[in-house]
Amino acid sequence: MNLIKRFVSYYAYELPLSLLDISAAALIAVLDLLFPMITRTMMKDFIPNYDLSGILKYGIILLLMYIAVLILQYIVDNYGHIAGIRIETRMRHDLFCHMQKLDVEFFDNNRTGSLMSRIVNDLHEVSELAHHGPEDLLIATVMLVGSTIYLMQINVPLTLLIIAFVPLMIFFAIKTRKSMGSAFSSVKRQTAEINSDIESSISGIRVAKSFANEDYEKSRFQSANHSYRKAREGAYHHMAVFYSGLNFMTNLLNGAVLVFGGYLAYLGRIDLADLTAYLLFVTMFIQPIRKLTNFAQQYEQGMAGFKRFVELMETQPKIIDKEDAVTLKNVRGEVTFDRVSFGYNSHSEVIKEVSLEVEPGKTIALVGSSGGGKTTLCHLLLRFYEPDVGSIKIDDVDIQDIALASLRQTVGLVQQDVFLFAGTIKDNILYGRPDATDKEIIEAAKNAEIHDFISSLPDDYDTYVGERGIKLSGGQKQRIAIARLFLKNPPILILDEATSALDNITEYRIQNALKKLSEGRTVFLIAHRLSSVKDADEIVVLEDGEIVEKGTHMELLKDSTIYAKLYSSQYIPSELLNNNSTDA
């Protein structure tokens, strides 16, 4: 019941159009009931008596009624569908906005194609239910009640025969509805799965081709496609049982009325005009039953999608603003990690009791073996995840007390795996600050050493970068991402392998630009190429989630073992390094 109540609540946003649609549908139902009445009157009173004026009079009335139905049907088909698509659009907007609030962990655990299916495919059938559901129910009710009352006036025994069939039809519909609903829910799940597989395969097409794994991808897709086909076949089976059973009962009712009506005519208890009108009204009586059966199918399909919509809407983010969350102002950039521990699951810790104090305006380099927790530590600063133990502070304010928007405006991030949105170069740089001017965009690009390249392109800053920036090289994408960060101009920077995709010459130029950007700002510099961290104010060595060494470049070379080995290994000839690995 709560699900239906929530569904109905969306009609409030499109109440005028919904009421117009329902009113027009109700008038159509009333006019449809009048057609057999006029037919009966003409056959009983005018045609047998050769009353030409009466025939013409009612003929004009019928014409006007036909025109009225034409206009009303247009209103139902046009404005009813408009109301449905607007409700669908609002639901999709609500769902997308809600998903923007969900944690990074949610997206870690859900496939992109599956989420896309729930946003697009599921809600399309919800729209059809939103449009056709209320009008089908109203038309069915008006026609059932109206035709029953009128049929009773013509012949009670025949009407009782029809009414006797109704419970049988309702029982059959209820009996098969549940299995049909389960089948359509399965179709929704399989649709999401096949969308996920398609999205994954297309996104990774270059990897698939580089490994010559087209046949493997075909096989993997065929498996998902087969499951989808089986789910659809199951749904069609239940739908066929539903419709064929109801059609059989409808035909049986028509035959029973015709035979029993013929018997009553034989007994002289009904005349031919009344029997003809009665047979027309039986069609009117059956029509709402058909509408109810259509509604049952639409209800199952639409509610299967709406249920999945509600499931996502009720998924709550774990990381939210406190009621009294503060907005950071005049940020100095002091960052403190106090005995912070974190694990992506309860079985293992990625960060283990890390304590670190970073003074404002200092550059801290995080180095160590892959998987040591460097990137995770910075993600905790952005509150992509919450620490299991300990606290993180900016300017002595716990980040859990800071509004998320304020926190993430304060901290800028350039990742090793650069993501560019499908659009133009300008669009992607502008993402750093959407209200920036063209002059500011160009200045940011110059600082990132990418302006000259952009100016050499035929479309300049309006050059389309392709899906995920595929039309650009790795270094070009990285520099656009750095330009985006220049434009954002945050007081705290996280540079996660920000120059890893650059050649030596470009890296040198970018390092100079980053130094300029870093002046007066706190910088977390994650790097495997240790030559890029030599000038950091402090170097922190992380191994297995723990800080094992700290100091300047020269201090660590002099006193440490781990950093010195890491640094020297990058300058040892590969042959010697391989020999040492073999000996080990």
**What's the CATH code of the domain at 265?**
1.20.1560.10
- Does residue 211 lie within any of the structural domains? yes
Pair (297, 355) in one structural domain: no
Pair (296, 407) in one structural domain: no
The reported pLDDT for the residue numbered 220 is 74
Pair (193, 340) in one structural domain: no
Pair (443, 303) in one structural domain: no
- Does residue 319 lie within any of the structural domains? no
Last residue of a domain, one of 281, 313, 345: 313
Q: Phi and psi at residue 128, in whole multiples of 5°?
A: -60, -40
Pair (472, 512) in one structural domain: yes
Pair (259, 364) in one structural domain: no
- Residue 384's domain spans which residues? 335-583
Other beta carbons within 10 Å of 103: 18
What are the C-alpha distances in Å from 318 to residues 92, 103, 106, 337, 503? 22, 7, 9, 21, 41
- Does residue 133 lie within any of the structural domains? yes
The reported pLDDT for the residue numbered 207 is 63
Residues 306, 118: Cα–Cα separation, whole Å: 9
CATH number at residue 384: 3.40.50.300
| Encoded tokens for 172 | 């059959």
Question: Residues 320-354, buried b or exposed e (16+ Cβ, 10 A)?
Answer: ebeeeeeebeebbbbbbbbebebbeeeeebbbbeb
Low-confidence ranges of the chain (pLDDT < 50): 573-584
Pair (29, 81) in one structural domain: yes
- Does residue 261 lie within any of the structural domains? yes
Pair (160, 235) in one structural domain: yes
Distance of CA 388 to the CA centre of its chain: 30
Pair (373, 512) in one structural domain: yes
- Does residue 324 lie within any of the structural domains? no
Tally of domains within the chain: 2
Q: Phi and psi at residue 154, in whole multiples of 5°?
A: -80, -50
The contacts of residue 356 (CB under 8 Å, 6+ apart) are: 335, 336, 337, 364, 540, 547
The reported pLDDT for the residue numbered 249 is 81
- Does residue 330 lie within any of the structural domains? no
The reported pLDDT for the residue numbered 339 is 92
- Does residue 90 lie within any of the structural domains? yes
Pair (288, 368) in one structural domain: no
Q: Decide if 3 contacts 306 (C-beta within 8 A).
A: yes
Residues 421, 433: Cα–Cα separation, whole Å: 15
- Does residue 329 lie within any of the structural domains? no
Last residue of a domain, one of 313, 346, 363: 313
